[in-house]
Amino acid sequence: MRRRTVLAMGVLALTGACGVKAPPRRWEELSLIVPRSPGGCGDGVAAGFKALVEGRGWARAVRISWEAGGGGLGSPVMPRTGLVVADSALLAACALARDPFLVSRAVPLARLAGEWEVLVASPESDYRTFDQFAAALLRDPGRVRVAGGADRGPEQLLLGLTAQGLGADPRLLDYVALGTRAQAVDAVLDGRVALAFGDRREVAPHVRSGRLRPLAVSSGERLPGIDAPTLSESGVRVVFADWTGLVAPRGTPGRDALLDLCRAVTATRGWHNLCEHNDWTPMWLEGDDFRQWLTGEARRTTALLSELGLR
């Protein structure tokens, strides 16, 4: 089976910010805006950031608010002040709105963490291996139903990348948007669909119990507790993570101080415990390097949405 190489998304520079001292500045109050991107780790990142910053006394208070504009919920709105929790769903929403939000109207601070995806199948289905799934997708992409989270969200993007890598027509895909990855996994468990994307934390218990069969993982290396090859091992040159980071509105004062704060938070034991507890992979990338990566990611996301016939 001939498979093409496609440009990977959501990866590179998976390093941690270690050994950083407490930030030199203290804040009276910080504001965190979380776009409503169902199923992502933005809420958890915001809550953890708040707890760590307030707990260390680096700010007296961190206020969290939620805004529409992620996960295909509409055109994103850039606030005038505060930090914005950005992720792959928000980037897709910006591309759909033809809005250069994260590239021209924001100051990228740092990419923090991400979640790898696992393609799972019902044990009762005909899909026992990734090759069987790939063969079916090549024969007739419209007859292979795959569930995931929000419409035009990371799982739909990953399915499109996988189809591109296999040489299947991404415009013919039958993607079932169920709001969150957890709902997609439930749809496989109760027999509504045969295939879905979920994160490792959600699927691992069901894999151990034999209620789900893992076919492939989106990480660059195999994941502990999931006996499945990577997409790259399976002949599809894709490495994909549902990432989360922080950006600030253009013109926000004290960019260096805010970046120092991000470094300090991710260097704490509390942050590493939070990542371990939630099965997030630290994906630190800061400042201009994050900007450069984000610009390329915006272009790739825009092109992929066009290939999927969604833009």
Per-residue pLDDT tens digits for 225-247 = 899 999 999 999 999 999 999 99
Provide the pLDDT for residue 89. Answer: 85
- Other CB atoms within a 10 A radius of the CB of residue 208 amount to 12
Alpha helices in 167-199 (DSSP H): 181-189
In CATH, which superfamily holds the domain spanning 116-217? Answer: Periplasmic binding protein-like II (3.40.190.10)
Whether residue 38 has pLDDT greater than 60: no
In this prediction, residue 162 has a pLDDT band, given cuts at 50, 70 and 90, of very high
> Do residues 286 and 260 touch, judged by C-beta distance below 8 A?
no
In this prediction, residue 127 has a pLDDT band, given cuts at 50, 70 and 90, of very high
The helix (run of H) or strand (run of E) holding residue 60 is: strand 59-67
Whole-model pTM: value is 0.88
Whether residue 256 has pLDDT greater than 80: yes
For 5-9, 66-70, 116-120, 211-215, which range has the lowest pLDDT when averaged over its residues? 5-9
288: CB partners within 8 A, 6+ apart: none
Per-residue pLDDT tens digits for 77-94 = 555 567 889 888 888 888
In this prediction, residue 252 has a pLDDT band, given cuts at 50, 70 and 90, of confident
Q: How many residues does the chain have?
A: 311
- Of 62, 60, 70, nearest to 40 (Cα)? 70
Average per-residue pLDDT in the chain?
A: 86
67: CB partners within 8 A, 6+ apart: 33, 34, 35, 36, 76, 77, 79
Compare 143 and 21 and report the one with higher pLDDT: 143
Residues of the chain with CATH 3.40.190.10: 116-217
For 95-104, 189-198, 215-224, which range has the lowest pLDDT when averaged over its residues? 95-104
Rounded to whole angstroms, the Cα distance separating 111 from 258 reads 13
212: left (phi over 0), alpha (psi -120 to 50) or beta: beta
**Exposed, middle or buried: residue 201 (CB in 10 Å: 0-12, 13-18, 19+)?**
middle
Residues of the chain with CATH 3.40.190.150: 27-115+241-307
- Of 48, 38, 13, nearest to 246 (Cα)? 48
Using the structure block, give the residue that is written with the tokens 């995931």.
148
Provide the pLDDT for residue 75. Answer: 47
Provide the pLDDT for residue 261. Answer: 94
Domain boundaries 27-115+241-307, CATH class: alpha beta
